[in-house]
Amino acid sequence: MTDVASRIAQTSEAGQELKPRSEVGAAELMRELGAVLRMSEVEAALLGDLPEDPDEDQTMILNMGPQHPSTHGVLRLMLELQGETVLRCKPIIGYLHTGMEKTAERLTYLQGGTNVTRMDYLSPFFNELVFSMATEELLGIDEDLPERAVWIRTLMCELNRIASHLLFLATNGMDLGAVSMMIYGWREREEVLRFFQKVTGLRMNHNFIRPGGVAADLPPGWRDDVVRLMDLLPGRLDEYDTLMTGQPLWRERLQGVGTITPTEAVALGATGPVLRSTGVDWDLRRAMPYLRYPELEFDVIVGSYGDAFDRYAIRLNEIRESMRIVHQVLDRMPTGDYRIQDKKVTPPPRARIGESMEALIHHFKLFTEGFKVPEGEVYVAIESPRGELGCYLASDGSAKPYRMHIRAPSFVNIQCLPHMMRGGLVADAVAVISSVDPVLGDVDR
């Protein structure tokens, strides 16, 4: 106990920190600056030199975070500054690491949902969906899901995308000083979360999408709630357009800030709005479809300059596309079962337990041991609001995953920060972090 306590007291991030120029070898500095940008050695060497300014020949290393309000959680950035200009930047993460991938190895597949839903806490349905899809793929039941379960999943995910992007609009506004936008974004998001609460019982961390279907059927009156939401949002989105999109101050703060090229974005593994802002037409819903996305009509929003404004505009318009999808889901929602009728995977209904011995046994076995999943390994990816969310599952044939890994979009996307910030101002650094929209629960897991 004392050993643990003393060790925790001494923890340090020393080796992970940004080193001053005097301690970094020339080759290392050049590599850090040039490798990702695919530059020639000459160009990279030029980058490594300090910008010429006789009054400002000193650089300063400044810590931004982990408790800075605009780092969206506990992200720590070490910035090398010359005056107001950012020369180098290094994100230091891990402050929210809670070992969720290790935890997953001790939970059954049925319990796993409660664990993964807490990773990217702004888009919990996507975490549950990707984990369930991976499990179903291992079980070999991914083709047998009832139609209604698939459409409920689509509905909840698209509403979740709306909620997540609304929160992005709110925080993006707050970071740049448009404080009223913060209130509006949170207000509209709350309307969506109210619907989630009605369906799942919780505003966040739902554990609603489970292997084999969803946890419960949609409640009576769900259609009216969704229709009311869909009637409410278009007017509000137009208000945002008036408030921000067309406003010169907003454009000045975002246009040309934090630019990234398609080559850099692909090399860095960036996905989602960050990749699409550079003009790369890549959305897993369209490119490598899952659920019933091939049957749905929607546009993939693509930017052209790769700057913070494009990323803002993409997310704003993705809300409109998600609403288009929700309208189609409303028209097409079939009747039927909401989970697969496979006794080995789905718990029996509560009413059956009192009258059927077999149902009681299945219920008991499912919730104590869980169901066994055949040996194998699988990687499944979906398009979350932040990019490619992947789940790698390796099973040894038991009732718990042998290894579960979540490919977190935020974790990969924040690697873009140093490249977006280089040469910009400290004030723009805030706009850049915000435009990548990292969720630290997703980064650190």
Partner 1 sequence: MADAAEDQQAAPTSDPTREPVSELHGCPLTERRGHVVAHPTRERYVEVVKALADDGYTMCVDVTAVDFIAHPGRALPDGIDPERFEVVTNLLDLGGQRRVRLRVQVPDEDATLPSLFDVHPGTEAMEREVYDMFGITFTDHPDLTRILMPEDWEGHPLRKDYDQGMIPVQFKGVG
Applying CB under 8 A, which residues contact partner 1? 1, 4, 7, 10-16, 28, 31-32, 35-36, 93-94, 97, 99, 101-102, 137, 140, 266-271, 280, 282, 287-288, 375-379, 381, 388, 390, 392, 394, 396, 402-403, 405, 407, 411-412, 414-415, 444-445
Nearer to partner 1, 197 or 398 (CB): 398
DSSP tag of 151: H
Nearer to partner 1, 108 or 207 (CB): 108
Nearer to partner 1, 140 or 336 (CB): 140
Q: In whole angstroms, how close is the CB of 75 to partner 1 at the nearest point?
A: 13
Nearer to partner 1, 210 or 419 (CB): 419
Nearer to partner 1, 238 or 375 (CB): 375
Nearer to partner 1, 152 or 280 (CB): 280
Angle (deg, nearest 10), helices 222-240 and 308-332: 160
What sections of 176-295 are H helices per DSSP? 179-200, 222-240, 248-254, 262-267, 273-276, 284-287
Q: In whole angstroms, how close is the CB of 326 to partner 1 at the nearest point?
A: 26
Query: Which is nearest to 382 in space by CA: 197, 174, 154?
Result: 154
Nearer to partner 1, 13 or 190 (CB): 13
Residues 173 and 179: beta-carbon distance below 8 Å: yes
Q: In whole angstroms, how close is the CB of 145 to partner 1 at the nearest point?
A: 15
| Spatial distance between the Cα atoms of 394 and 400, rounded to a whole number of angstroms | 10
Query: Which is nearest to 314 in space by CA: 190, 155, 52, 322?
Result: 322
Q: In whole angstroms, how close is the CB of 388 to partner 1 at the nearest point?
A: 6
Q: In whole angstroms, how close is the CB of 102 to partner 1 at the nearest point?
A: 6
The residues pairing with 86 across neighbouring beta strands, listed in sequence order, are: 81
Query: Which is nearest to 117 in space by CA: 203, 207, 214?
Result: 207
Query: Which is nearest to 229 in space by CA: 273, 265, 193, 278?
Result: 193
Burial per residue of 126-163, b for 16 or more beta-carbon CB atoms within 10 angstroms, e otherwise = bbbbbbbbbbbbbbebbeebbebbbbbbbbbbbbbbbb
Q: In whole angstroms, how close is the CB of 114 to partner 1 at the nearest point?
A: 19
What is the H or E stretch that residue 20 is in?
none
| Spatial distance between the Cα atoms of 441 and 445, rounded to a whole number of angstroms | 5
Burial of 67 from C-beta contacts in 10 A (0-12 / 13-18 / 19+): exposed
Residues 244 and 422: beta-carbon distance below 8 Å: no
Q: In whole angstroms, how close is the CB of 405 to partner 1 at the nearest point?
A: 4
The residues pairing with 210 across neighbouring beta strands, listed in sequence order, are: 213
Q: In whole angstroms, how close is the CB of 149 to partner 1 at the nearest point?
A: 20
